[in-house]
Amino acid sequence: MAHSVRRDAPELPDFSLLKRLARDQLIYLLEQQHDVDKLYKVEHKPILYRMVRGCFLYPLTNWFLFPDVVNADKAFGRFRRYKIIFSPQKFYACENLLEEQGIFGDVTTDEWSFYLLPLDDDIISLELPEFFRDYFLEGDQRWVRTAGSALHLLHSVYGPFSKVYGIGRCSKMAYESWREQVEEGEQRARQAEIGNVFLIDRDVDLVTPLCSQVVYEGLVDDIFRIKCGCVEFCPDVTSSDKSIKVMLNSQDKVFNEIRNEHFSQVFGFLSQKARNLQTAYDKRSGMNIKQMKTFVSEELKGLKQEHRLLSLHIGASESMMKKKTKQDFQELLKTEHSLLEGFEIRECISYIEEHINRQVSMVESMRLLCLLSLTENGLLPKDYRSLKAQFLQSYGIEHLLTFSNLKQLGLLVEQQPGETLTVMESRVGKLVNDKTAGKLTDAFSSLAKKSNFRALGRRLNLVPKSDEEYDLRVPRDMAYIFSGAYIPLSCKLIEQVLERDGWTGLEEVTRMLNGHEFAVTDARVKTDSQRIILVMFLGGCTFSEISALRFLGREKGIKFIVVTTAITNSARLLESMLDNHA
Amino acid sequence: MMRGKPDEDDYWNSSKFKAFTFDDEDDDFTRLKESKRAVNSIRSLVEEEDEEDDVEKVSWSGEPVGSISWSVKETESSIRSTGEVRDQSFPKIHTAPSLPKNSSGYSLSSLFKGKAKTGSFQSFSESFGDPSIRNYAPELRKPKSEYKDYVSDWTPEETVKRMQQGKVYSLEKFRSLQDKLLLLDEAVNAHDGNVITAVLIYLKKSLSKEILFRELITREIALRHYIHYLKEIGEQKLLVELFKSMDRTEDMALMQYRDHLNVRDENKRRDFLKNCLSFPFSPDDATHVQDHYTLLERQIIIEANDKQVESSGQADIFKKYPRKASILNMPIITTLYYSCFYHYGESDGTFSSPANIRKTFRISDKQFLLTCLGARAKLKAWFDVDALFTTKNWLGYTKKRSPIGFHRIVDILQKNNAPVQVLQDYVNLVEDVEQKISLAQKYKCHDVIINTYRDLKDRQQLIVYRGKVEKGSSEYRKIEEILSNSQLRWKN
């Protein structure tokens, strides 16, 4: 609200084109090629409606269940022909399964290359929530080419891009895949609408998505879960007997003004807004007929619209406030901030312990444990053992499987005895030159994934000194999205690289992040869209990070476009690690 | 190579956005494809010279094929590739741009071509370490004249590329182990998981598992794809064998343990868990699995018993608070809560008694107290709550102690709707005075506040507080009484 937008901030390109392209292609696919006239959304249960010709929209995560659907039909004596349209890409593994199950002829397949869903003026999602688990946990690169294709699509519609920066193994691979696709296809010279690109792997910064979100949009996502830019507000919010679905994007004028604000500022803003609205309504008194007529025809509709939105967001804020008070949010945040700061860790551990003991939300407990591990470079063996045991007692022993996943990904690990690796690493590092040291670091890091959060925090000033007052009304840096306690590592990296026009001077930082950074310049491209920057998160990004980037953009007079495999938050991220269901 | 789609926008016409045409029934199209293929292969027969160009085109990756060393070697590869950067191409990643350019100026493929032509091929295991040889795939092919049918005369690179683009491909000609592995490594190099898995499926069908497992050990990326694929299609047995052959026994144990989730019947599940006890878990996990088995075993006994008692209507507690769900498959703490709720005061000997559960599962004092407190408070059994904290010292004095702060206890009691009379006892036990007062104010424990101010000799605060309570109420009178007491020496 109080932000002055720099007047020279560039305009964003129009992404509705992407939607149109995708839709046209689907319609073409269905109408021209398959004579389909109706679409059905199908869940994993027998198909009861009669259809001669229909279409499956099926979540790819469960592709291996599809034969069951067909065979269940057959068991009922229903013989149908099926068409699978994979989106965004065909799975060879699935086709093979169809073949093995002897239903290949009954089922035919096609592909709908729908890569990018614009969620807002500056957010584009690949809608691949499974990306995080598939790539980072299972090590399956099935979405890497998809990411490359998405970049290729953006490049051919809004490019060419002049510079690409990136960090992370997957970013590198996605870049390679994109480059290969560019070289395969023909290139057309066009006016570039996007200047630079930044690619980042989610595992470069796992701390940020695990923090509680306190910016309005992030908080709404944490509590009500925004799906595809749409949220369902429960009766509690709407103060009626039914819940309603609302689109949350820049079209919603009220939302647009509060989405990036720290929650503590939202109430004041909303009540001010309500007062203004009242004044506008009050104008009616003392109007003559003619004025009244103009008022009704011109202003009233807008005011009513605003009224509706306002009461909705006030309702949402109240409901969130209530929920958060109930779970002692203040104390939770205090613990989180202590963890980020590395302060009173023992107290934090006993807080987490009690959280587990009282069987409060399982995902929350896990989130705190992971934050502890990430910020402390792993748990002391004795703490790890004791907390794990208590966790299993409280939430079920089958979470052994979850712990194994968290360990595999490096989210929750035991400290290696004596941290011998670090010592060895630095010693060896001094003996040999930088290049070899880089390789060694790689080798070491595969042995023990370390987060190095403290050292990174110091080097990049991620955690401001806590004794200073932080005025949330006039944020001075990106830390405002976490109440001034922490600048998100991901966004700080982006800021630094853009400022330095590359990774020079950040060698120490990238070494601690396990390397895989790159910066390439396409000398052929001369563009004046340098100040429009596309940031792609491989593995998901949070609304808080988007808010932070918007803030950074306002400060620097640039615009960020966030492309992400999915919008994520701590709950989604951790739920994807669960293995406790059949 | 594809049908013309006149209606489509130019953009979608670029090859990669085309639909896949595996199963196209269009006869004309199939014929067209056949002839096109024939034409293509003729060309490669006739124009031997062309081949160099072809290779040149696909050698973009320039990366060594050995996947396990991918991370370390990729630096190297991009350095090497600086030698062949073409000005007109899309920029590549240079990990070490400061290094001098490769002075030779040769392209990668031409280098390798020379090498491969002169040297005869060693056995595969020898050449394994040398990425350059494997990079030059066309030489691995048999002389062209031996082909009777040249339908799928594609190199590993071409095959992988075709698969990525959704074009027709064939894997059958990759018959020697060497060829198969080249194909796999090429797929890994292309960073396309979908293709990697497709190749692995082919290898799974066409190689004995021992050979495949052996080769996968040194190919971390391919291995992880293989494991994920087997997990997805549920080939449990093969996975177990795979882990076993790689000595990943803990993974194997967890993998098998995971299967208990698929066993619905509780008796069968218990038997399954019993069977799990012999798996090679890490020592810590073995204890947990043992607990899991013991827990379910007891839950089955408790459930059978309580169900019977409940339906016979013998026990009041079940009548007053009917069970909402069965206790089967609940966590240990939930079971303990249940036992504190329905089986409080039973002797240690019974499986359902809190003491027995506490001992069997090594539950900490703190945890036990919290759970017990919750259950007894829910039942409003304040006497039991009291007893939880009361300890007698050797002189026989009683004192209230707690392993967790009393402010927490107050919080839990309050959440269970404890009356003020109960609450204030515990608020009184809070050591920190400020915390005590703020809690007392929050829960309206007037006595605690008044007494605390009196003890602090804080007259001013007491007067302030008098303004907050209702006039004429017992609290009000109490404050009046204290304020008028001339014995007290106020500090203000």
Q: What is the pLDDT of residues A301-347, one digit of tens each?
A: 788 888 888 888 888 898 888 888 877 888 899 999 999 998 889 99
Average pLDDT over every residue of A533-538: 94
Q: What is the pLDDT of residue A530?
A: 76
Give the DSSP H/E element, type plus range, for residue A201.
Answer: strand A196-201
Q: What is the pLDDT of residue B450?
A: 87
Closest to A149 measured CA to CA, from A186, A110, A175, A187? A175
Q: How many CB atoms lie within 10 A of CB A464?
A: 16
Residue of A nearest to B14 (CA): A185
- How far is it, in rounded angstroms, from Cα B251 to Cα B234? 15
Q: What is the pLDDT of residue B85?
A: 38
Q: What is the pLDDT of residue A210?
A: 96
Output the DSSP codes for B94-124: -S-TTSPPPTT---HHHHHHHHHHHSPP--H
Q: What is the pLDDT of residue A386?
A: 94
Residue of B nearest to A356 (CA): B367
* Better-scored residue on pLDDT, A446 or B203: B203
The answer, yes or no, to whether residue B148 has pLDDT greater than 60, is: no
Least confident of A136-145, B78-87, B319-328: B78-87
- How far is it, in rounded angstroms, from Cα B198 to Cα A90? 11
Q: What is the pLDDT of residue A284?
A: 76
- Interchain contact, A152 vs B17, CB within 8 Å: no
CA–centroid distance for B356 within its chain:
33
Q: What are the two backbone dihedrals, phi and then psi, of residue A9, each rounded to the nearest 5 degrees?
A: -65, 135
* Better-scored residue on pLDDT, A10 or B13: A10
Chain B CB within 8 Å of residue A40 CB: no
Report DSSP state, residue B391.
E
Q: Starting from the edge strand earliest in sequence, which strands make up the sheet with A123-125, in order?
A: A117-120, A123-125, A559-564, A532-538, A196-201, A163-167, A517-521
Q: How buried is B124 (Cβ within 10 angstroms: 0-12 exposed, 13-18 middle, 19+ buried)?
A: middle
Average pLDDT over every residue of A459-482: 85
Q: What is the pLDDT of residue B133?
A: 41
* Better-scored residue on pLDDT, B233 or B17: B233
Contacts with B234 from chain A: Cβ below 8 Å: 64
Contacts of A477 (CB under 8 A, 6+ apart): A464, A487
Q: Which residues pair with A57 in a beta bridge?
A: A41
Alpha-helical regions (H) of A43-91: 66-75
Least confident of A239-253, B327-341, B383-397: B383-397
- Interchain contact, B20 vs A90, CB within 8 Å: yes
Q: What is the mean pLDDT of chain A?
A: 82
Average pLDDT over every residue of B198-212: 93
Q: What are the two backbone dihedrals, phi and then psi, of residue B229, each rounded to the nearest 5 degrees?
A: -60, -45
Q: How many CB atoms lie within 10 A of CB A88?
A: 21
Q: What tens digit of pLDDT does each residue of A222-277 get?
A: 999 998 888 888 888 887 788 888 889 888 888 998 999 899 888 888 888 888 88
Residue B64, preceding bond cis, omega within 30 degrees?
no
The answer, yes or no, to whether residue A448 has pLDDT greater than 80, is: no
- How far is it, in rounded angstroms, from Cα B209 to Cα A348? 49
Output the DSSP codes for A236-253: HHHTSSS-EEEE-STTSH
Residue A88, preceding bond cis, omega within 30 degrees?
yes
The answer, yes or no, to whether residue B86 has pLDDT greater than 70, is: no
Q: Starting from the edge strand earliest in sequence, which strands make up the sheet with A82-86, in order?
A: A40-41, A56-57, A82-86, A107-111
Contacts of A97 (CB under 8 A, 6+ apart): A63, A64, A66, A67, B233
Cα-based distances in Å from B171 to A155, B104, B179, B181, B199: 33, 36, 10, 12, 8
Helix, strand, coil abundance in chain B, percent, nearest 5: 60, 0, 35
Chain B CB within 8 Å of residue A444 CB: no
Tokens of B383: 């006497």
Chain B CB within 8 Å of residue A156 CB: yes
Residue of A nearest to B251 (CA): A404
Chain A CB within 8 Å of residue B164 CB: yes
**What pTM does this model have?**
0.79
Determine contact, residues A207/A489, Cβ cutoff 8 Å.
yes
* Better-scored residue on pLDDT, B290 or A445: B290
Question: What ipTM goes with this model?
Answer: 0.85
Average pLDDT over every residue of A483-510: 91
Q: What is the pLDDT of residue A33?
A: 57
Cα-based distances in Å from A271 to A295, A377, A427, A549, B389: 23, 44, 60, 27, 48
Output the DSSP codes for A83-112: EEEESS---HHHHHHHHHTT-TTTEEEEE-
Q: Among B194, B291, B378, B415, which would you mutate to test the A interface (most chain A Cβ atoms within 10 Å of its Cβ)?
A: B194
Q: What are the two backbone dihedrals, phi and then psi, of residue A532, each rounded to the nearest 5 degrees?
A: -110, 120
- How far is it, in rounded angstroms, from Cα B180 to Cα B161? 16
Q: What is the pLDDT of residue B131?
A: 44
Q: What tens digit of pLDDT does each residue of A146-160 get?
A: 999 999 988 888 878
Residue of A nearest to B294 (CA): A397
Q: What percent of chain B has pLDDT over 90?
A: 30
Q: What is the mean pLDDT of chain B?
A: 75
Residue of A nearest to B71 (CA): A442
Tokens of A28: 């073409």
Cα-based distances in Å from A232 to A54, A129, A236, A245, B90: 29, 19, 11, 4, 44
Contacts with B249 from chain A: Cβ below 8 Å: none
Q: How many CB atoms lie within 10 A of CB B328?
A: 15
**What confidence category does residue A366 fall into, taking pLDDT thresholds of 50, 70 and 90?**
very high
Q: What is the pLDDT of residue A433?
A: 46
Contacts with B195 from chain A: Cβ below 8 Å: 92
- How far is it, in rounded angstroms, from Cα A347 to Cα A353? 10
Average pLDDT over every residue of B11-17: 41
171-200 in chain B: CB under 8 A from chain A: 190-198
**What confidence category does residue A62 fall into, taking pLDDT thresholds of 50, 70 and 90?**
low
3-state class (DSSP) for residue A540: coil
The answer, yes or no, to whether residue B298 has pLDDT greater than 70, is: yes
